[in-house]
Structure 1
Amino acid sequence: MPITRKALEIPPDVARQFAANMRAFHAEYDPLKRDEIAADTRHLILEHMPKDTKLRLADVLELFELMR
């Protein structure tokens, strides 16, 4: 039996903040500031994910690169 997942619903203002963070991440040259932006974004996303969801900083960094 295949596993079905409930669609993740993120409020529009959170999606806009994610997009703004991604733009800021790609515009930033300082690696420490880029990591800070990614960490802030990780916390933003985790607030709207199911409890006990694991989301590593590396996952956010990869997501930013994939969505470039």
Structure 2
Amino acid sequence: MAARLPSLMLPSCYLDGALCLEDDARVERYHQAFDQLRAWALASRQTMSLISRLSRDLERES
């Protein structure tokens, strides 16, 4: 069974700014969440294949 991301990770993401964390426990939770995301990520070739397939599927639908 896949591990879940810490619940604080999703609402605490900043895409257009900086987030300064000084609390060691919070830093560790973000570190663990990032490590889990990297573990779940596809390899480069698999990512390219997935994007190509999705693009073809979208073109067929339109």
TM class by shorter-chain length? 0.3 to 0.5
Q: Decide which structure has the larger Cα Rg and report it.
A: 2
TM-score w.r.t. length of structure 2: 0.37
More helix by share: 1
